[in-house]
Amino acid sequence: MKNSNSYQEIQNGDKDTNVLRSGQYKLNSNEIEEIEVIDIDSGNSSSSSSSSSSRDNNSHTANKESTDKVKGEEMYKTISNRVTEFANGIIGNNSTKEGNEYTPLNKSTDGMDTPLSSSKDTSPTIKSYSLSSLPSNAFLKNQNQKPHPVPISAHSISKLETHHYDLSRSGKEPNQLIFMETPELVSNNNVGDLFMDNEKLIYDGHKKKLSLFQLICLSISFLGIQFGWALQIAFSTPLFLELGVSQFWVSFIWLAGPISGLLVQPIVGVISDKSECKYGRRKPFIFGGSLFICVGLVLISNAASIGTWFGDSDLEKPISIIISIIGFWILDLSNNSVQGPCRALLVDVAAPSQQGIGSSLFSLMLGLGNLLGYLMGSIQLIKIVPFMKTDTRALFTLSVIILLICVSITLIVISEEKYTRISDQPVENPIKTLFKGITNIPPYLRRLCAVQFFSWIGWFAYILFITTWVGVNIYGGDPNAVEGSDAKILFQQGVRAGSLGLTFSSAVTIAVSLTIPFIIKLIGTKYTYLIGNIIQTICFAMFYFVHSKLGAIILIACTGIPWAIVMILPFSIVGMGVSEHESGFHIGALNIFVVIPQLIVSLSISFVISFFHGDVVSSLITGSIASFIATLLVFRLIIPDQQVEEIGPESMKSNDESKVEIYSSPINK
């Protein structure tokens, strides 16, 4: 940490800046001529004056010696002095000026501001206060809004590696100063912009609440990402089967998802948490990952053409299979590098009480992306754009266009503060940090991860073979049949019908997403989560008993209810129980217990299906059993204390009563 060596260095700082940043203390010497440093531990104080020429040499020597001690571990004394200045009202709206004298104010019994003391000395004086008894004007105040308290303690003052203090001028009121405590992050923006005379600005903690438009722009990137993922779910398994991959080996290709999710997303989360990139912590990963998603989509959609160009025949397509698998893995790796930063960006820039509505909007965009993707997949696009040659190429090209548009909106509209590390210590290896933290995750996250583990065994067993189940079990088609044969046509019709069912499922997801905040207010987070898991268990079990085309589509549509809940509540709970500088780690940790089940299913489900003579419905029944276990584990959940806001104009109002219980991750200790 960079420390001030003496008061002279402080006095010669930037005269236009009154900000403490990264341990560097700058003071406008035109306003403050005397500094008194408070010893928090002992209660002793020592003063240092810039007007040394008017003092005797002994006093000057003593002052210089005491000032030279304000280094390293005692830097907090200088900070505490600045707190004292603010508490005394030396500068700000809660002080009066008589000539060159600033007189601190105090609240009298009749509620009027009265001077604490009166002095005729023309030089400024500073009175000392212990941090445990700061006056009321040590709190943030906005002219047209209620005072907003900022807790100050000797503990937080002394922990410079996790706290810093910004003191900046307000843009509209040059005499109004703002005191703000920010965990670990150092804002490059003028903190004074936060509490200007503007009735339209509403704040929660030290974060300005985002407008509904901003929240929509923040979450719309998920629409583009999910559009491509919907196509991946609906068409990857049928595509591999049509290229000649045996049903047994298809699930092993899907290992790309859990492996990349297990390694990529948590590591990206830890690295982005500590990133000091000038473009922000999350945006570079969102941008880069999106470009690679486009590469994966292009490779998958053109695998057959590339393979033919390299000599594949109609009967054997080894090059096409290799290209499609490479594209599939790139797509999964990129998806996992983008989704975590997208969700972490919400935690970073949105106020704590907006985490619920933010997660709901993410689920809404997820549902819209799924709906559009599955809807397009249920249509024979080759009839609309014949120059694309195949439906797969037309679909995946459309996905690239939508992804680029949606991600661009998020990157352009949402502003992300640059992060600057206060400590000079090197960033710990992200893999080591990740697994060190996983062994000590807080109780609420540990139990949430257990629910996610079994819930996602069910979901992945469903995702792998749902459209194949419709094509084979319901329509009676054969993916390995000769192109143009009745069996092949029936299979393709079944896959499109399955995609149509997933379209209805996405519509249900959207509708349920809009109602979840109201349901949570009515019955609470835990019981909402419980209902979702019960419905999930029943739906997956019913696949064994359904044999009609209409029944299959209706049942698939019903899975949209639990899907909406599993996409909202886990991440919303994390947003309620984690501070912003740990959000990437906690989301990454949660994601581990989403991808480990996928890893288990990918390695084992082929053996389960083979045991039941190749009937893919056995995969869905396996999912029902796992979902039942998840339902039982919901009863043990710990829900952090957070009031959930409604969606709509009311959600933009200030909520002073909402509280968030914060759990600290061991990675920051």
Euclidean distance between CA atoms 598 and 593, whole angstroms: 9
Give the Cβ contact number of residue 460 at 10 Å. 26
In 3D space, the residue among 528, 9, 603 whose CA is nearest the CA of residue 251 turns out to be 603
CA 423 to chain centre: 23
Q: What pLDDT is stored for residue 576 in this prediction?
A: 75
Whole-number Cα distances in Å, 402 to 212, 232, 372, 396, 607? 22, 15, 10, 10, 38
Q: What pLDDT is stored for residue 579 in this prediction?
A: 56
170 and 268 share one domain: no
Listed in order, strand segments (DSSP E) in 230-375 are none
> pLDDT for 358-401, tens place per residue?
877 887 787 788 889 999 988 888 888 888 888 888 999 999 99
Residue 206 lies inside a defined structural domain of this protein: no
Percent pLDDT > 70 in the chain is 59
- Give the sign of the dihedral formed by CA 225, CA 228, CA 232, CA 234: positive
Q: Evaluate whether 169 touches 18 at the Cβ level (below 8 Å).
A: yes
Q: Evaluate whether 319 touches 555 at the Cβ level (below 8 Å).
A: no
Q: What pLDDT is stored for residue 556 in this prediction?
A: 95
Q: What pLDDT is stored for residue 257 in this prediction?
A: 78
What's the first-to-final CA gap in the chain, in angstroms?
Answer: 17
Give the Cβ contact number of residue 482 at 10 Å. 11
Residue 196 lies inside a defined structural domain of this protein: yes
Q: Pick 170 or 479 by higher pLDDT.
A: 479
Cα angle 197, 199, 200 (rounded to 5 degrees) comes to 120
Choose the final residue of a domain: 146, 179, 201.
Answer: 201
341 three-state secondary structure: helix
387 and 319 share one domain: yes
Q: What pLDDT is stored for residue 96 in this prediction?
A: 38
β-pair partners for 179: 167
Q: What pLDDT is stored for residue 94 in this prediction?
A: 38
Least confident of 67-76, 456-465, 604-613: 67-76
C-alpha radius of gyration, the chain, whole number: 30
Task: Say if strands 101-107 and 95-98 run parallel, antiparallel, or are unpaired.
Answer: antiparallel
Question: φ and ψ at 41, to 5 degrees?
Answer: -75, -45
Residues in the chain: 669
Q: Evaluate whether 289 touches 338 at the Cβ level (below 8 Å).
A: yes
CA dihedral 532, 537, 540, 541 (to 10 degrees): -150
Euclidean distance between CA atoms 664 and 164, whole angstroms: 17
56 and 179 share one domain: yes
Local confidence band at 532 (pLDDT 50, 70, 90 cut-offs): very high
Whole-number Cα distances in Å, 82 to 87, 118, 163, 627? 8, 21, 15, 56
Give the count of domains, the chain: 2
418 and 529 share one domain: yes
Listed in order, strand segments (DSSP E) in 489-589 are none
589 three-state secondary structure: helix
- Give the sign of the dihedral formed by CA 282, CA 285, CA 287, CA 293: negative
Most confident of 274-278, 484-488, 534-538: 534-538
253 and 276 share one domain: yes
Question: 104: which 2 tokens?
Answer: 């601190």
Site of tokens 């933009």: 652
Euclidean distance between CA atoms 229 and 399, whole angstroms: 9
Residue 610 lies inside a defined structural domain of this protein: yes
Is the pLDDT confidence value at 41 over 80? no
Residues near 232 by beta carbon (within 8 Å), at least 6 away in sequence: 328, 331
152 and 283 share one domain: no
Residue 491 lies inside a defined structural domain of this protein: yes
> pLDDT for 399-425, tens place per residue?
999 999 999 999 998 887 665 444 444
Q: What pLDDT is stored for residue 48 in this prediction?
A: 37
Is the pLDDT confidence value at 17 over 90? no
Listed in order, strand segments (DSSP E) in 205-272 are 207-208
CA dihedral 595, 600, 605, 608 (to 10 degrees): -150
What DSSP string runs through 614-640? T-THHHHHHHHHHHHHHHHHHTT----
Q: What pLDDT is stored for residue 601 in this prediction?
A: 92
Residues near 513 by beta carbon (within 8 Å), at least 6 away in sequence: 360, 363, 364, 367, 564, 567, 568
346 and 431 share one domain: yes
424 and 570 share one domain: yes
Q: What pLDDT is stored for residue 235 in this prediction?
A: 87
Residue type, 113: D
- The CATH number that applies at residue 492 is 1.20.1250.20
Euclidean distance between CA atoms 203 and 211, whole angstroms: 11
pTM above 0.85, yes or no: no
In 3D space, the residue among 403, 222, 170, 393 whose CA is nearest the CA of residue 300 turns out to be 393
Q: What pLDDT is stored for residue 127 in this prediction?
A: 34
Domain containing 93: what range?
7-201
180 and 289 share one domain: no
Choose the final residue of a domain: 201, 235, 270.
Answer: 201
> pLDDT for 166-218, tens place per residue?
333 333 333 333 333 333 322 333 322 222 223 333 444 445 677 888 889 88
- Count CA within 13 A, CB hemisphere, residue 227: 26
Euclidean distance between CA atoms 199 and 144, whole angstroms: 7
Q: Evaluate whether 230 touches 377 at the Cβ level (below 8 Å).
A: yes
Residue 524 lies inside a defined structural domain of this protein: yes
485 and 614 share one domain: yes
Choose the final residue of a domain: 156, 178, 201.
Answer: 201
The kind and range of the H/E element at 429 are none
Is the pLDDT confidence value at 158 over 80? no
Residue 11 lies inside a defined structural domain of this protein: yes
> pLDDT for 547-605, tens place per residue?
999 999 999 999 999 998 988 888 788 877 665 556 667 776 787 788 789 889 999 99
Q: Pick 516 or 7 by higher pLDDT.
A: 516
Euclidean distance between CA atoms 495 and 573, whole angstroms: 35
Residue 609 lies inside a defined structural domain of this protein: yes
Residues near 613 by beta carbon (within 8 Å), at least 6 away in sequence: none
Q: Evaluate whether 287 touches 275 at the Cβ level (below 8 Å).
A: no
Euclidean distance between CA atoms 81 and 36, whole angstroms: 6
107 and 158 share one domain: yes
268 and 294 share one domain: yes
Residue 2 lies inside a defined structural domain of this protein: no
